[in-house]
Amino acid sequence: MILRQNHKRDSIETLVNKIPLILLIFLLINNCSINNKVKFWEEKDIIEKTKNTKIILTDQIQVEKEFNPNIKIVIPDVKYKKNYINNQNDISKLDYNGNLKKIGKYNFSKFKDFQYIDIEPIFHKNKLIFFDSKGTILLFGDNQKILWKENFYSKGEKKLKPRLNFAIHKDKLIVTDDVAKYYMIDIKSQKIIWVMSGIVPFNSDIKIHKDVFFVVDYKNILRCISIHDGAELWNLKTEESLTKSNDKLSIVTDNKNVYFNNSIGDITAVNIKSGDMVWQLPTQGTNISSNAFRLNSSNLVINKKSIFFSNNKNEFYSIDVLTGLVNWISNLSSNLQPVIIDKFILTISNGGYLYLMNKNTGNVIRINDLYQNYKNKKRNNVRPTGFVVGKNKIYLTSDDGNLIVADLNTGNILKSLKISRSKITKPIIHQNNLFLIQNDSIFKYN
């Protein structure tokens, strides 16, 4: 009986001691739920906390809109180039102002993975060279008829569906592929001059300098190879990524150095003669190695004393050729090769916006929406595949088979043509003609 009374007394004392705390909690809840003018965190406190908070995103998101869309900027006339290939990827304006009338068609067998690969033909005089899904090289005449076709792969190699990259040295065709094979053939006789088998597949375009050529493989190794006999003269290793990217790597050269990007975003300058590294610029974070397949970069372009390129991480770079130091970075997401004309840069974002920028500062002068005729649901699923600049027009291709033509000086859309029901690759201008590639044929326009 005494124990029960003591226990009851202790319980009452405990309850009395807790009353202030209970009252405090009740008051706080009451103020938060009833009085709308009093908030647990004032708005100014939230804003202040937001200012001091660093938000980290794995993929940057940029909301795009037009900027100065109605101003006219007269792009200076320059000497028009007839060839879209050079060692600096600096193609500027090309000699084309046609009426887009189809005048020819080159046929080849379909690729099953055409939507995901980056392939293009090469031209030798008035002839077009391409390949099919089994690695057969096709030489087309000016009348689009096949002059000859040759396959230098075994039965097992054909099953791997090799993807070929081309370069031409005089009358010789240099070929690299993604099954670790490279060789040179005589275009006139169709005979193979030399053939080599490597250990690692190749994953870049080809650049020729005098009597050597340069390629990069899937391990991010730059290789210098003799045109004479295919012997490797030197190589330079850069950091290898943990995953393999299908994004084709880019190479450019000047008289002293060869420059290339690797799959983790490093830009490296290498002395052409010795193979020694001159400088290297990492452009991505330390965790990019495991996510290299998510990085897509444009081709490098050398113009004057700077290298220009962009990527899908909202970064457009201008880099000093001599030092590798960054001149400027602009907030722009694109994996399309930019075009430099005089003091202007033109590029098109992955969202279909045409950017006109100042080459020296990176400042944006004008932004035009080239996908403005798409409905929102449709445009979210469309991506540009490439563009070129003719005498006074811009030609943009997309992965839904459309060709958009815009005025160079105003950015206004002039016309939109349906070329294919599916992807067409980047447009190519050669000898006053425009070429568009779909899956099974190449169209030629005057």
Mark whether 433 and 444 lie in a shared domain: yes
Mark whether 222 and 272 lie in a shared domain: yes
Residue 51 tokens read as: 């200012």
| Reported confidence tier of residue 21, pLDDT bands at 50, 70, 90 | very low
Show contacts of 293-297: CB within 8 Å, 24+ apart.
Answer: 293/243, 293/244, 293/245, 293/246, 293/247, 294/59, 295/245, 295/247, 295/263, 295/264, 295/265, 296/247, 296/335, 297/247, 297/250, 297/261, 297/265, 297/335
Does any domain span residue 35? no
Does any domain span residue 256? yes
Q: How far apart are the two ends of the chain, measured CA to CA in Å?
A: 111
Q: What is the secondary structure of 193-232 as a DSSP string? A: EEEEE-SS-B-B--EEETTEEEEEBTT-EEEEEETTT--E
| Reported confidence tier of residue 291, pLDDT bands at 50, 70, 90 | low
- The span from the CA of 371 to the CA of 375, in Å, is 9
Q: What is the pLDDT of residue 384?
A: 97
Q: Looking at residues 275-285, what average pLDDT do you find?
A: 95
Task: Look at 79-83, 182-186, 197-201 and tell me which has the smallest mean pLDDT.
Answer: 79-83
Does any domain span residue 21? no
Does any domain span residue 401? yes
Number of domains making up the chain: 2
Q: What is the CATH number of the domain that holds 391?
A: 2.130.10.10
Chain segment 83-111, per-residue pLDDT in tens: 788 999 999 999 898 889 999 999 999 99
Mark whether 106 and 151 lie in a shared domain: no
Residue 253 tokens read as: 């050269």
- The span from the CA of 366 to the CA of 262, in Å, is 31
Mark whether 188 and 215 lie in a shared domain: yes
Residues constituting the chain:
446
Q: What is the pLDDT of residue 287?
A: 60
Q: What is the pLDDT of residue 189?
A: 94
Q: Looking at residues 422-436, what average pLDDT do you find?
A: 95
Q: What percent of the chain has pLDDT over 70?
A: 84
The overall average pLDDT reported for the chain is: 86
Mark whether 129 and 274 lie in a shared domain: yes
Q: What is the pLDDT of residue 293?
A: 59
Contact by Cβ (8 Å): 318, 362? yes
Q: Which amino acid does the sequence have at 117? A: I
Torsions phi, psi for 19 (to 5 deg): -55, -45
Mark whether 336 and 413 lie in a shared domain: yes
Does any domain span residue 12? no
Contact by Cβ (8 Å): 221, 257? no
Torsions phi, psi for 407 (to 5 deg): -75, 130
Q: What is the pLDDT of residue 288?
A: 56
Mark whether 315 and 289 lie in a shared domain: no
Mark whether 351 and 364 lie in a shared domain: yes
Q: What is the pLDDT of residue 358?
A: 98
The residue segments making up the domain with residue 421 are 64-117+307-446
Chain segment 344-380, per-residue pLDDT in tens: 999 999 999 999 999 999 999 999 999 999 998 899 9
Task: Look at 241-255, 283-297, 359-373 and tell me which has the smallest mean pLDDT.
Answer: 283-297
Residue 309: how many other CB atoms lie within 10 Å:
26
Confidence check: pLDDT of 326 > 90: yes
38 compared with 215, residue with greater pLDDT: 215
Confidence check: pLDDT of 25 > 70: no
Mark whether 75 and 192 lie in a shared domain: no
Q: What is the pLDDT of residue 77?
A: 86
Torsions phi, psi for 179 (to 5 deg): -120, 25
Does any domain span residue 8? no
- The span from the CA of 29 to the CA of 398, in Å, is 57
Mark whether 172 and 195 lie in a shared domain: yes
Contact by Cβ (8 Å): 135, 149? no
Confidence check: pLDDT of 310 > 70: yes
Mark whether 110 and 133 lie in a shared domain: no
Q: What is the pLDDT of residue 421?
A: 92
Does any domain span residue 78? yes
Q: Which amino acid does the sequence have at 446? A: N
Does any domain span residue 69? yes
Residue 214 tokens read as: 């340069």
| Reported confidence tier of residue 147, pLDDT bands at 50, 70, 90 | very high
Mark whether 397 and 338 lie in a shared domain: yes
